[in-house]
Amino acid sequence: MADYSEFPTTPTGWQERQAQEWQTVTPLETEDAERPRQQVDLTALVPGVAFVVIAIVFMSGVHLPDFMWRNGGFLWVVLMGVGIVLLVAELRKARRRRS
C-alpha cells in the first residue's frame, strides 16, 4: 500500500542494522581465490632473447669485428648483462616484500 503521508518515515535501529548487513558483501568460502599475478621467468627470458639476437645477427650476414671475440669479450658482455638483469630482479622482489 502506498504511503501518502506528508513526511517520509524514519527507519528504526534494527532496520538500519539490517540494511548495513545486506549492503556488506563477503566472499563465500567456496569461491575461487584471486589468481596470483603471473611473473616473467627471467632465467628463461634472458638467454632466449640473447639467442634470438645472436641468431638474427649471424643470419643477416653482419660481420662483427674480431675484437669482440678475442679473450672471451662477447661472453664477458653476456655475463655482465645477465648479472645486471638478475640483480634488478632481486631488488624488485625485495621492494615487493617490504611493501
For 15-40, write each residue's pLDDT tens digit: 888 777 776 777 677 767 777 777 77
- CB-CB contact of 82 with 46 (8 Å): yes
Q: Answer whether residue 1 shows pLDDT above 60.
A: no
Give the per-residue pLDDT at 79: 81
Cα angle, residue 50 at apex, residues 46 and 55 outer, rounded to 5°: 150
Distance of CA 38 to the CA centre of its chain: 6
Alpha carbon distance 78, 20 (integer Å): 61
Domain boundary assignment for the chain: 40-99
- Give the model confidence (pLDDT) of 48-98 as tens digits: 888 888 888 878 887 777 777 788 777 887 788 878 888 888 888 888 877
Task: State the residue for C-alpha cell 558483501.
Answer: 25
Asked whether 74 and 68 are in contact (CB, 8 A), the reply is yes
- Cα Rg, the chain, nearest whole Å: 31
